[in-house]
Structure 1
Amino acid sequence: MADVILVNSKFTVNTFANTFKKLHAQGIRPVFLYPQSMLNFLSINRFERKKNVDLALSAFAKLRNLEEDVIKNPEKNALLSECLCVLYRPKMWLLLDEHFDIVPLEAMAAYKPVIACDSGGPVETIKNEVVGFLCNPTPQEFSLSMAKLIQEPQMTKNMGEKTQQHVMELFSTKIFGQHLNRLLAYVARGKED
């Protein structure tokens, strides 16, 4: 009975189609909209959201006996400020594609290039060879990309300078609002007809 089904990535649009084949066959299609909650590191009420995320993460870690493995925001920010780039390989750990995820955006907002798997969410968030590298999920591919960043410091610096602008142009609250306004106008026009 929904007018529009909003999802958080193009990858999830395809997952929806594969999961809900009957709805898809009836012409019910989801529309992707990057949710504002994914961009909490750019929002004004950042402190309150951070506190809530930290509480939820702590509770989840405690349930799974992973408390010692959790990196909290101050430590994460320190690591981001010192690193050359961020490696993002969820496919290797989960053996499936990752949907739209915050890790690459946080890295790019901190001026760091990202090396990620060439599948799932990273394909939507990382411009290959502009703000990072998209690779096959193999040690060889990741190593080659890492070597490029180490051997070519000017390229690494140039990528880092482009990352935050890339995030702001595609994933900011302003862009989110524009997408949402277009979708609401589309739904409202359909109701008037």
Structure 2
Amino acid sequence: MAPRKKRNLDIWFIHPDLGIGGAERLVVDAAVGLQQLGHRVTIFTSHCDKSHCFDEVKDGTLTVHVRGNTLIPPHLFHRFFILCAILRQIHLTLTLSSDPPPDPSATTGPPPTDPLYPRLPPPDVIFIDQLSASIPILRILYPTTKILFYCHFPDKLLSPRNHPLAHLYRLPFDFLEGYSTSKSHCLLVNSLFTRSIFAQSFTGIASTPRVVYPCVDTFPPPTTLPIQPPAHNHLTFPNLLLSINRFERKKNIALAIHSFSLLPRTLRHASSTRLILAGGYDPRNAENAQYHLDLTKLCDTLGLQHATCKNYISALSLPDSVDVIFLLSIPASLKAELLSKARLLLYTPSNEHFGIVPLEAMLSCTPVLAVNSGGPLETVVEGETGWLRPPDMKEWSAIMKKVLFEMSDSQIRIMGERGKERVEREFSKEKMAVSLQEVMLEMLEKDMGEPLFGVGELGVLIGVVMGLVAMGVWWFL
């Protein structure tokens, strides 16, 4: 199919909380990529902490407006997160057509030409992700604008339902998610795996979402470590096995420890083999703290010497007897260094929606061992850029042994180069931006999406929104 005629578009992004998570990384990469293609991009969000966001937001590369954050808090006594998130998004949506106060702290990027913040003209396309609740409202407010919804994963599958009342409480939210999602002009997902789950979760939506993969920066800026490491330290040993994940149970980091423990002790010590478990850790998060403690106890049970380091400097002075190193909340510079030095990346989660870490490893010419489910099935090529195995410790240990003691350095290098070529070819920021541009141009050419309201739908929608508010007030009182 011939590429569509290029024209510069006015594109808005609507995102709930512009922090530093995976969804936020995708939004920032998509916005920057489209901006570099010549489109005018503006991001609207209900929250953006300039000390806790990506550099492109901090340095003004992107124009970001914070709105819809003055009436509804993010939660009520650490409850009702989804209700508050929906109401905050609706509030944000309603402020788009009104004149916001001239609050410099609520805006990043180039200042508007008019200091009174005049009303913005309707955009060509609105890109919205995570929450779909405001899509019907957006279609009413901007009838000529096309609405694109990017589904990272169905929200209805991410909420715990450990009690019948919790299931009952979620019913109206689930209905609203399905209804509002169906009213977008175009649906995108981050992987074929997510598309299959989407189809199972929203049986009433006839259209099939398209896949636009997340990306990594194939031209990352150079990073430097805080200090030059000594020649002899655990972070530069030749046989490093690396896992990078948040310290959460669903990431199944224990699989890496169990598999590592099956390697012969004499071989491990003779070859200076170490297992490094790095990733996101928030001491205020009870699950992070408890899971880290459980993993250290597992090491004790398996007879593995371990050490926990909270900064780069402390990791340089560990005794040689340490087998497993826990690195908590590593900076980007250390993450890049570890990825470039590791012999093998261990990606332990099952049914991961997509998984960006395997791409980062392959970009660093490091082979990947991942669980054979979810997103890694679409990123890791068996036997060429890494291996895909069930979460069985014996099978994982066999691959570790092969990589550490049986494959030559040249074989590892060739596999790593294939991985890097694959990432640069299929998962670059430039390719994602061009894919989004093609989708948006097609949306503007065709009459896509379902009619906004069918018979009785408006009344049902109003009833659901009022019911959500009433339920939240009742539960709170």
Per the TM superposition, whether the score is higher than 0.5 is: yes
2:191 counterpart (2, 5, 9): 9
Instruction: State the SS of the aligned residue for 1:61.
Output: coil
Q: Which region of structure 1 is more displaced relative to structure 2, 112-121 or 181-190?
A: 181-190
Determine the C-alpha separation between the residues in 2 that align with 1:134 and 1:190.
40
2:209 counterpart (19, 30, 33): 30
Query: What's 2:407 paired with?
Result: 152
Query: What's 1:80 paired with?
Result: 339
Rg (Cα) greater in structure: 2
Determine the C-alpha separation between the residues in 1 that align with 2:221 and 2:188.
24
- TM-score, structure 1 as length reference: 0.78
Query: What's 1:42 paired with?
Result: 218
Determine the C-alpha separation between the residues in 1 that align with 2:360 and 2:282.
21
Does residue 1:103 correspond to 2:285, yes or no? no
Contiguous gaps of at least 5 residues in structure 2: 1-182, 224-279, 290-309, 311-327, 449-477
Contiguous gaps of at least 5 residues in structure 1: 48-58, 92-96
- C-alpha deviations, 1:142-178, integer Å up to 9, x for none? 1222222221113212101111111000001221133
Provide the aligned length of Structure 1 versus Structure 2.
171
- C-alpha deviations, 1:102-153, integer Å up to 9, x for none? 1001101111000001110100111111110111111122122222222111
| Counterpart contact for 1:80–1:110, Cα < 8 Å | yes
| Counterpart contact for 2:340–2:364, Cα < 8 Å | yes
Does residue 1:136 correspond to 2:136, yes or no? no
Determine the C-alpha separation between the residues in 1 that align with 2:433 and 2:420.
19
Q: CA RMSD in A?
A: 2.6
C-alpha change, 1:138 and 1:44, in structure 2 (3 Å) is closer
| Counterpart contact for 1:149–1:155, Cα < 8 Å | no
C-alpha change, 1:119 and 1:107, in structure 2 (3 Å) is same
Determine the C-alpha separation between the residues in 2 that align with 1:82 and 1:45.
18
Query: What's 1:52 paired with?
Result: none
More helix by share: 1
Q: Which region of structure 1 is more displaced relative to structure 2, 13-22 or 175-184?
A: 175-184
Query: What's 1:51 paired with?
Result: none
Q: Which region of structure 1 is more displaced relative to structure 2, 178-187 or 6-15?
A: 178-187
Instruction: State the SS of the aligned residue for 2:388.
Output: strand
Query: What's 1:50 paired with?
Result: none
- TM-score, structure 2 as length reference: 0.33
Determine the C-alpha separation between the residues in 2 that align with 1:106 and 1:117.
17
Structure with greater contact order relative to length (CA < 8 Å, sep ≥ 6): 1
Query: What's 2:437 paired with?
Result: 181
| Counterpart contact for 2:195–2:211, Cα < 8 Å | yes
Q: Kindly provide the amino acid, as one letter, of the partner of residue 354 in structure 2.
A: F
Q: Kindly provide the amino acid, as one letter, of the partner of residue 188 in structure 1.
A: L
Query: What is the percentage of aligned positions where both structures have the same residue?
Result: 31
Determine the C-alpha separation between the residues in 2 that align with 1:42 and 1:117.
24
Determine the C-alpha separation between the residues in 1 that align with 2:401 and 2:413.
14
Determine the C-alpha separation between the residues in 1 that align with 2:440 and 2:219.
22
